[in-house]
Chains A and B, each alone.
Chain A
Amino acid sequence: MEIVVCVKPVPEAETRLRPDAAGTALDPEGVKYVLAGYDESAVEQALLLRESIPGSRVHVVACGPAPRTEEVLRAALALGCDVATWVDVPAASADEPLSAARALASAISPHSPDLVLCGKQAGDNEAGVVPAALGELLGVPDLSYVLDVRWNAGASRFSLKRASEAGLESWTVPAPCVLGLQQAWNDPRTAKLPAILKSRKAPIARVTPPSAAADPASSPRRFELPPPRTGAKMIEYKTADEAATRLVRALREEAKVLP
């Protein structure tokens, strides 16, 4: 089975967010980009499927600029992905989810994968658009908020769970398809030191999208941090009941978060 897993370099969780000089985007100065969150779960799922389906191959694909994109591809290779493709596009394209999906689709479709896995969204701009858009662009069904994907060879279908407002749904989905993975359900593995060293020397195929398809106009205007909180207003009280009464009154009358 040919499994493609799409990953995106995102700033590591500890990054101190700061607007750039224009105030329209994250200041990339000193930011370390990593393979993280949802994408780690997607890579783990791809590797688990490969281990359970003989003759499978995991192909990791990422779009974005150097060097951050190469770094996440190498991280995925170190985790055990077999081959890697770098779709070389500028950061602005990679951050616009529809152009990212187009760039990824152009690199993926020649390989006719049986399964495309993505994190359901990226931890930076959190759009959650790419899995469904990829499904449309590749002409295959998609499902997101997915976990625990298994292959049922007899039926030629994947069985999986989907976390929705209704609860944990069970679905079966025929191959080929695109699946967007939930985070933090499969305890992603850690790359081992020898694999990390080996991944540094592994070849990475570089492709450029055939044509810079006209990006839908989406211009960043402002990137802001929330105003710092100045510390809690402390509820003064003599008895627990008094504390409860005062807090509920504040939440209803001042904060207006309770009816």
Chain B
Amino acid sequence: MTRTALVVGELSQGRLAGATHEAIGAAAIVSGSPAGVSVLLAGRSARTAAGELARSGVARVVVVEDPRFDAGPPAVLAVQAAATAARIGVGVVVVGGTTFGREIAGRVAARWDGAVATGVTEVAPEGESVRVRRPVFGGRATETRVLGGPRVVLAIRPHAFPTPASDGPTPPIEVVPAADLPAPLLGPIRTGVESAAAGAGPGLSDAAIVVSGGRGLRGPENFHLVEELAASLGAAVGASRAVTDAGWRPGSLQVGQTGKAVSPQLYIAVGISGAIQHLVGMVSSRVIVAINSDASAPIFRVADYGVVGDLFEIVPALTAEIRRVRAT
């Protein structure tokens, strides 16, 4: 017997976050088809955003039009999600792999008493249970778990699930009032946001493509080569410890044991020799490209594709080629 699922949608500036589409994709796998999936959208623009799920084939979109969900912390939406899950009677709640989604997963699990797994990259129904696979130890290992019990909560990993095709029926929209939101949870107030500098914060951790620069760039004045390549790919910018220690770029960009662990779909290491401290932070990337002048650099042993040569020639050529390909 497969489980019906509730996807907790995330709205970003009035629109559905990409992570929500991926969560629907994952939920459809657990439920056997989109028809087993309900989607919860809460916030002032919930009804408009529900329009984005036309032809998604999901069972229904539950809409809660209430501004408290726009301003409040993730916990508020988690309360609504747990209430909605209990009311509909689903067997699994799925959230997207954003910072918001992960926080929701923890509170829904505790509130709804569900078995929980986060950072999930693969999911499949297994009898009455749900089998999940997820990276652990910063991507240095993976674990497979089977989540049983009547209730399961999953937070998926970004970019791990395809967004489903939109060739199904348009779901009905149910507008419901907000659940009883405990007053203390409405206490936190967001007072502002500074937009992220390239690669800052989870932008780096969660980017699908990361381009990192190392000592081979010779100085901060050349780091723009890495940034331009990243821009051409829509990638986040990272750096080796040598670069951040030397102050060429802030420590927040450091990929490695003492910095951030990343596991994007594509990691491009420019002028990075591949000290173990760096490798630990990026070795779980799906595809690794290394560009380095030293053919014996350890980075080439973990890379999938290597270019030995002068990065000052290769990188601009690569940026130009990607721009050309993207333009056509």
* A–B interface present (Cβ within 8 A): yes
Contact residues of A with B, CB < 8 Å?
11, 13, 17, 25-26, 97-98, 101, 123-137, 139-145, 159, 162-174, 177, 180, 183-185, 216-226, 229, 231-235, 237, 240-241, 243-245, 247-248, 250-252, 255, 257-258
Which chain B residues lie closer than 8 Å to A132 at the CB level?
A: 74-75, 78, 102-107, 110
Which chain B residues lie closer than 8 Å to A217 at the CB level?
A: 115, 129, 147-149
Would B107 and A136 count as touching, CB distance under 8 A?
yes
Would B305 and A232 count as touching, CB distance under 8 A?
yes
Which chain B residues lie closer than 8 Å to A125 at the CB level?
A: 136, 143
Contact residues of B with A, CB < 8 Å?
12, 73-75, 78, 98-100, 102-107, 109-111, 113-119, 129, 131, 134-138, 140-149, 151, 182, 184-185, 187-196, 200-203, 206, 209, 233, 251-252, 254, 257-260, 265-266, 280, 283-284, 286-290, 300-310, 313-314, 316-318, 320-322, 325
How many angstroms between the C-alpha atoms of A26 and B308 in the bound complex? 37
In-complex Cβ contact of B287 among A164, A167, A257 (8 A):
A257
Would A243 and B266 count as touching, CB distance under 8 A?
no
Would A170 and B192 count as touching, CB distance under 8 A?
yes
In-complex Cβ contact of B73 among A143, A244, A250 (8 A):
A143
In-complex Cβ contact of B306 among A97, A123, A235 (8 A):
A235
Minimum CB–CB distance for A21 against chain B, Å: 16
Which chain A residues lie closer than 8 Å to B304 at the CB level?
A: 229, 232-233, 255
Can you offer 30 A-B residue contacts whose CB atoms are under 8 A?
A: A97-B116, A129-B102, A129-B116, A136-B75, A142-B106, A143-B188, A144-B102, A163-B201, A165-B100, A167-B200, A170-B191, A170-B192, A173-B189, A216-B116, A217-B148, A218-B148, A220-B144, A221-B131, A221-B146, A223-B143, A226-B284, A229-B302, A231-B301, A232-B305, A240-B314, A243-B307, A244-B320, A247-B289, A247-B318, A257-B266
Q: Which residue of B lies closest to A13 (CB)?
A: B257
Q: Which residue of A lies closest to B303 (CB)?
A: A232
How many angstroms between the C-alpha atoms of A239 and B40 in the bound complex? 54
Would A229 and B305 count as touching, CB distance under 8 A?
no
A124-B137 CB under 8 A given contacts A163-B201, A184-B259 = yes
Which chain A residues lie closer than 8 Å to B307 at the CB level?
A: 234-235, 237, 243, 247
Minimum CB–CB distance for A95 against chain B, Å: 10
Q: Which residue of A lies closest to B119 (CB)?
A: A126
Known: A162-B99, A224-B141. 12 other contacts (CB 8 A): A126-B137, A136-B111, A141-B187, A164-B98, A183-B260, A218-B146, A219-B148, A233-B304, A237-B309, A240-B316, A241-B317, A258-B322
Would B185 and A223 count as touching, CB distance under 8 A?
no
Name the prevailing secondary structure of the A interface residues: mixed
Which chain A residues lie closer than 8 Å to B190 at the CB level?
A: 169-171
Which chain A residues lie closer than 8 Å to B118 at the CB level?
A: 126-129
Would A139 and B184 count as touching, CB distance under 8 A?
yes
A135-B287 CB under 8 A given contacts A141-B73, A177-B187 = no
Q: Which residue of A lies closest to B325 (CB)?
A: A248
In-complex Cβ contact of A222 among B114, B143, B305 (8 A):
B143
How many angstroms between the C-alpha atoms of A26 and B200 in the bound complex? 32
How many angstroms between the C-alpha atoms of A98 and B182 in the bound complex? 21
Minimum CB–CB distance for B124 against chain A, Å: 12
Would B314 and A133 count as touching, CB distance under 8 A?
no
Would B115 and A98 count as touching, CB distance under 8 A?
yes
Would B149 and A248 count as touching, CB distance under 8 A?
no
Would B300 and A168 count as touching, CB distance under 8 A?
no
A248-B318 CB under 8 A given contacts A136-B111, A221-B144 = yes
Q: Which residue of A lies closest to B277 (CB)?
A: A13
Which chain A residues lie closer than 8 Å to B321 at the CB level?
A: 241, 244-245, 247-248
In-complex Cβ contact of A168 among B141, B193, B259 (8 A):
B193
